[in-house]
């Protein structure tokens, strides 16, 4: 039985060295490249993204318009259905980033509001 050369900390393809903190301790470790890239719900309610890809069919608001929480902003056609995109917060329409007829991929910025 030989004492083979131990290959400490061999690299793994598509992984990078970094630190992870668990309970106040920093561990030196490898991270997969796609780590943390799974999408989560955006925290900022003034930013309205397309949660699914689709086509803009109708836009109900104009720049400067005051809107209430729950008010319709636009119609996004996807999966053969018309989805009403509403605002979760009251505010004023700041910028409308799309036009009727645009085919948008997932996560596209649709509308930005200001308080």
Q: How far is the CB of 58 from other proteins (least distance, A)?
A: 18
Residue 64 or 79 with smaller CB distance to other proteins: 79
Nearer to other proteins, 36 or 64 (CB): 36
How many CB atoms within 10 Å of residue 86? 15
Which CB sits closer to other proteins, 4 or 115?
A: 4
Least Cα distance to 76 among 35, 46, 45, 107 occurs for 107
28-57: contacts with other proteins (CB under 8 A): 28-32, 34-36, 38, 40-41, 52-55
Cα–Cα distance between 111 and 61 in angstroms, integer? 10
For the chain, how big is the Rg over CA atoms in Å? 23
Instruction: Pick out residues in 58-77 that bind other proteins (CB under 8 A).
Output: none
Using the rule CB under 8 A, is 1 a contact of other proteins?
Answer: yes
Contact between 12 and other proteins by CB under 8 A: the answer reads yes
Contacts 24+ apart (CB under 8 A), 33-41: 39/107
CA atoms of 5 and 63, how far apart (whole Å): 68
Give residues in contact with other proteins (CB under 8 A): 1-4, 6-10, 12, 14-15, 20, 22-32, 34-36, 38, 40-41, 52-55, 78-80, 103-106
């Amino acid at each position: 039985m030989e004492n083979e050369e131990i290959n400490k900390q061999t690299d793994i393809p598509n992984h990078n060295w970094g630190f992870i903190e668990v309970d106040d301790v920093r561990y030196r470790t490898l991270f997969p490249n796609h780590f943390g890239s799974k999408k989560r719900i955006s925290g900022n309610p003034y930013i309205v993204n397309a949660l699914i890809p689709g086509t803009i069919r109708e836009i109900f608001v104009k720049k400067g318009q005051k809107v209430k929480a729950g008010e319709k902003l636009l119609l996004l056609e996807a999966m053969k259905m018309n989805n009403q995109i509403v605002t979760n917060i009251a505010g004023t329409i700041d910028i409308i980033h799309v036009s009727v007829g645009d085919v948008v991929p997932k996560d596209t910025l649709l509308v930005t509001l200001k308080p």
